[in-house]
């Protein structure tokens, strides 16, 4: 069944959108909690109450353990859930249990028959394979399964999700993505991040997402498998992933792990529960530890789920405010590996500019060297190129005292006096990140809206003068406030 995907707001490659599938709609970015087809810790009504409009369950396990019931009632009735149900093909389980009788058609026929809204075709996960040969093989097998499914069941009420494989090998990821689009898939899902997440290989994760997303049309939604980790959620959203399934909230809870936006903590080693979710509000760390295991896992799972829910909302608010970059950077400060991933993301500044609004209401915060690669600055540099033209024979270069507007500074009066004395001069202002620019552009975003701490350096002034000279100005007068000599310590 065809889907519709409407994008409302964007920042970097992240977007807030409405995905309509199977007569239901969900707002993206959207976390899709994974529920076990048989085992149930959290009542399903709780997911609806918490606002989760979509759930994921495993078709292979359902097929093996609740086949008759699922076929008779349909998934929605069987699970008593009327939101979007996404089904994973069970490719991982097939591989794990060596189920050779399970073919793409068998599982697809089952997924369609039980009324899955979004169904992943049978794939073979590449995982964190270092062998290119194996990665190529898994990519090819997954693609064959996807083609077979869409050919036989393309007209069913189920929307098929094409699984991208290839893992660490960018050319394979790109080839897989292109081939799935060509086969007619309207939603794609990027496989294999789980091992990268578990081993904190976030830089590899960024490269893999970028490889896929860069060759996808903007209008095609991308799902990221197994990505419910607060450390990387903003990053994945910023790179254009729209939906994320995650079993992490339960898996972590079973291992006694308590999620925070800065990583996971071991419950036993904690003193407090630094969270205000309903679960943490109604218990203490000591009570949790003393609880019977099943109840503790349940409570921890709920806390983890609240945390992930809050994080998705935080990403959405950041997109809406135009400060997704800042959110990713804040998260990068939590762990060196996330910082590596952030630096990796920043290498794609020009591409990220494609989804970044041309104008923003908020100032551009410059906090680190990585911020020099902000897409807003890349866009400004692009626009500045053709504008930097000599109109007179001489230039006045104003070195601002602060990031504020020139017209409100004493230097402006000085520049005006200079212009009266020596007419026919173009006035430029030095920007710490963008170099010299025509002063009349100072109210154009982001010239005055860049917020940084510190002053224009001597080197930046020298470089600016050199640049203006290169443009053909016979003379460049530097207009700046004299800085007081640094006081020397008394000897």
| Interacting residues with Zn ion (CB under 5 A) | 275, 277, 280, 303
Shortest gap between Cβ of 301 and Zn ion (angstroms)?
Answer: 11
Is the CB of 311 or the CB of 403 nearer to Zn ion?
A: 311
Shortest gap between Cβ of 48 and Zn ion (angstroms)?
Answer: 19
| Separation CA 378–CA 103 (nearest Å) | 48
Is the CB of 59 or the CB of 264 nearer to Zn ion?
A: 264
Is the CB of 308 or the CB of 441 nearer to Zn ion?
A: 308
Residues 89 and 163 sit within 8 Å (Cβ to Cβ): yes
Catalytic-role residue among 41, 80, 82, 88 = 88
- Cβ neighbours for 33, distance < 8 A, ≥ 6 positions apart: 47, 52, 55, 56, 228, 245, 246, 247, 249, 305
Tokens representing residue 82 in the block: 């009327």
Shortest gap between Cβ of 300 and Zn ion (angstroms)?
Answer: 9
Is the CB of 282 or the CB of 486 nearer to Zn ion?
A: 282
Shortest gap between Cβ of 283 and Zn ion (angstroms)?
Answer: 9
Shortest gap between Cβ of 350 and Zn ion (angstroms)?
Answer: 40
Shortest gap between Cβ of 448 and Zn ion (angstroms)?
Answer: 41
Which contacts (CB < 8 Å, 24+ apart) does range 439-444 have? 439/398, 439/406, 439/415, 441/387, 442/405, 442/406, 442/407, 443/405
| Residue 491 DSSP code | -
Measured CA distances, 407 to 66, 413, 416, 482 (Å) = 73, 8, 10, 18
Residues 165 and 191 sit within 8 Å (Cβ to Cβ): yes
Q: Does the active-site annotation cover 144?
A: no
Give the phi and the psi of residue 180 in degrees, each rounded to 5.
-65, -40
Measured CA distances, 178 to 164, 216, 362 (Å) = 9, 7, 37
Tell me which residue has tokens 């290498």. Answer: 347
Neighbours of 217 (CB within 10 A): 6
Tokens representing residue 40 in the block: 């149930």
Is the CB of 303 or the CB of 431 nearer to Zn ion?
A: 303
Residues 284 and 273 sit within 8 Å (Cβ to Cβ): yes
> Angle 47-18-379 (CA atoms, 0-180°, nearest 5)?
125
Is the CB of 135 or the CB of 305 nearer to Zn ion?
A: 305
Paired sense of beta strands 4-11 and 14-21, if any: antiparallel
Is the CB of 115 or the CB of 228 nearer to Zn ion?
A: 228
| Nearest one of 420, 362, 376 to 396, comparing CA atoms | 420
Tell me which residue has tokens 């053909």. Answer: 472
- Cβ neighbours for 18, distance < 8 A, ≥ 6 positions apart: 4, 5, 6, 8, 25, 26, 27, 28
| Separation CA 125–CA 251 (nearest Å) | 20
Shortest gap between Cβ of 266 and Zn ion (angstroms)?
Answer: 15
Is the CB of 164 or the CB of 307 nearer to Zn ion?
A: 307
Q: Where are the alpha helices (DSSP H) in 422-471?
A: 458-470
Shortest gap between Cβ of 278 and Zn ion (angstroms)?
Answer: 8
Active-site amino acid positions: 88
């Amino acid at each position: 069944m065809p889907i519709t995907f409407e994008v409302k707001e964007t920042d970097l490659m992240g977007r807030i959108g409405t995905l309509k599938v199977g007569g239901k709609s969900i707002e993206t970015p959207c976390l899709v909690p994974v529920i076990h087809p048989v085992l149930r810790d959290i009542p399903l009504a709780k997911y609806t109450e918490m606002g989760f409009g979509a759930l994921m369950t495993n078709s292979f396990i359902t097929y093996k353990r609740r086949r008759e019931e699922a076929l008779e009632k349909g998934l929605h009735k069987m699970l008593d859930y009327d939101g979007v149900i996404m089904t994973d093909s069970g490719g991982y389980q097939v591989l794990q249990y060596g189920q050779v009788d399970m073919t793409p058609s068998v599982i697809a026929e089952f997924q369609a028959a039980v009324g899955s809204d979004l169904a992943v075709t049978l794939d073979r996960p590449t995982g964190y394979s270092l062998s290119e040969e194996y990665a190529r093989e898994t990519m090819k097998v997954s693609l064959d399964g996807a083609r077979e499914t869409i050919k036989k069941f393309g007209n069913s009420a189920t929307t098929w999700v094409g699984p991208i494989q290839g893992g660490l090998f960018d050319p394979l990821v790109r080839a897989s993505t292109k081939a799935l689009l060509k086969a007619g898939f309207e939603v794609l899902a990027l496989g294999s991040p789980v091992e990268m997440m578990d081993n904190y290989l976030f830089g590899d994760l960024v490269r893999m997402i970028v490889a896929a997303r860069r060759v996808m049309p903007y209008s095609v939604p991308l799902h990221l498998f197994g990505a419910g980790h607060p450390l990387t959620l903003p990053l994945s959203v910023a790179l254009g992933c729209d939906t994320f399934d995650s079993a992490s909230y339960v898996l972590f809870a079973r291992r006694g792990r308590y999620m925070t936006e800065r990583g996971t903590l071991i419950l036993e080693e904690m003193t407090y529960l630094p969270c205000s979710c309903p679960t943490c509000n109604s218990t203490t760390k000591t009570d949790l530890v003393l609880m019977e295991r099943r109840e503790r896992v349940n409570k921890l799972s709920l806390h983890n789920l609240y945390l992930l829910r809050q994080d998705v909302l935080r990403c959405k608010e950041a997109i809406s405010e135009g400060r997704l970059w800042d959110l990713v950077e804040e998260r990068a400060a939590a762990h060196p590996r996330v910082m590596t991933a952030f630096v990796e993301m920043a290498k794609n500044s020009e591409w990220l500019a494609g989804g970044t609004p041309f104008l923003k209401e908020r100032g551009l915060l410059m906090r680190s060297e990585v911020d020099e690669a902000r897409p807003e600055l890349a866009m400004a540099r692009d626009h500045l190129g053709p504008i930097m033209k000599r109109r007179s024979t001489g230039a006045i270069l104003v070195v601002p005292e602060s990031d504020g507007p020139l017209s409100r500074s004493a230097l402006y009066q000085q520049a005006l006096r200079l212009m009266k004395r020596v007419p026919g001069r173009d006035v430029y202002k030095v920007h710490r990140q963008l170099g010299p620019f025509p002063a009349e552009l100072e109210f154009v975003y982001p010239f005055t809206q860049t917020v940084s701490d510190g002053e224009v350096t001597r080197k930046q002034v020298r470089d600016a003068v050199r640049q203006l000279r290169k443009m053909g100005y016979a003379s460049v007068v530097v207009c700046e406030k004299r800085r007081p000599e640094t006081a020397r310590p008394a000897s």
